[in-house]
């Protein structure tokens, strides 16, 4: 079996890991900052009302990520939103390995530059653990989506989970910068 490796993963292994270890004085190669997984989330309230819309969203998210999404169900009932426990409220995909690097490469090099008035992604979207979350208003910016089959555009939340521990935000930001993430200029 031939080992499949993506352009971004190869760049990380050959250049970025060494540079990060040098910059942050990391002696243990297992402690070098890296991306663990990417979680793509879509919470659409209309999903519960229309089975056709749910199938359309599921198909489109599957095409975008290359993986079948799982249906997320409501954990509690909320009367004001007409929401009952167990009703479908969104879709989620967790990407790891080759698919993760392929998705990140597509996001950085194709999707983000296609956004209208794009001046970079915000730097403030890191959490305390060094994970980065990015919102995209319409899934139709992905080139994989067949516009003739889209019933209704939906938003996506993309979370890039890293293994950073100590200087989480700085290490994670540098990792994403080296991978090519276009952060906005201050």
pLDDT at 167 > cutoff 70: no
Transcribe 41-90 into DSSP letters.
Answer: EEE-GGGGT-HHHHHHHHHHHHHHHTSPPEEEE-SS-BGGGTB-TT-EEE
For the stretch 120-143, pLDDT in tens is 888 888 888 889 999 888 888 888
The fold of 7-179 is 50s Ribosomal Protein L5; Chain: A, (3.30.1440)
Q: How confident is the model at residue 96 (pLDDT cuts 50, 70, 90)?
A: very high
Distance of alpha carbon 157 from alpha carbon 66, whole angstroms: 16
Does the pLDDT at position 2 exceed 60?
A: no
Domain map (residue ranges) of the chain:
7-179
Please report the pLDDT score of residue 146 as a whole number.
Answer: 80
- The two tokens of residue 30 are 């297992």
Q: How confident is the model at residue 158 (pLDDT cuts 50, 70, 90)?
A: very high
CB atoms within 10 A of CB 59: 17
pTM of structure? 0.87
Give me the helices (H) in the chain, please: 7-11, 17-23, 51-65, 97-106, 112-114, 168-179
Look at 18 and 77; give whichever has higher pLDDT: 18
Mean pLDDT, the chain, whole residue set: 84
Q: Look at residue 1 in the predicted model and tell me its pLDDT.
A: 44
């Amino acid at each position: 079996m031939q080992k499949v490796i993506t352009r971004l993963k190869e760049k990380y292994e050959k250049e970025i890991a060494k540079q990060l270890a040098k910059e942050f004085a990391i002696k243990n190669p297992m402690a070098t900052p890296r991306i663990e997984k990417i979680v793509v989330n879509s919470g659409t309230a209309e999903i519960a009302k229309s089975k056709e819309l749910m199938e359309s969203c599921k198909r489109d998210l599957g095409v975008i990520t290359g993986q079948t999404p799982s249906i997320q169900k409501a954990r509690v009932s909320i009367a004001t939103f007409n929401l009952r426990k167990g009703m479908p409220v969104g879709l989620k995909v967790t990407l790891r390995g080759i698919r993760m690097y392929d998705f990140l490469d597509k996001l950085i090099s194709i999707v983000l530059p296609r956004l209208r008035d794009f001046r970079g992604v915000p730097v403030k979207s890191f959490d305390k653990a060094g994970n980065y979350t990015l919102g995209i208003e319409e899934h139709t910016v992905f080139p994989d989506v067949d516009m003739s089959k889209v019933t209704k555009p939906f938003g996506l939340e993309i979370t890039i989970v890293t293994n950073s521990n100590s200087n989480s935000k700085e290490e994670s930001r540098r990792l994403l910068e080296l991978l090519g993430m276009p952060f906005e200029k201050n």
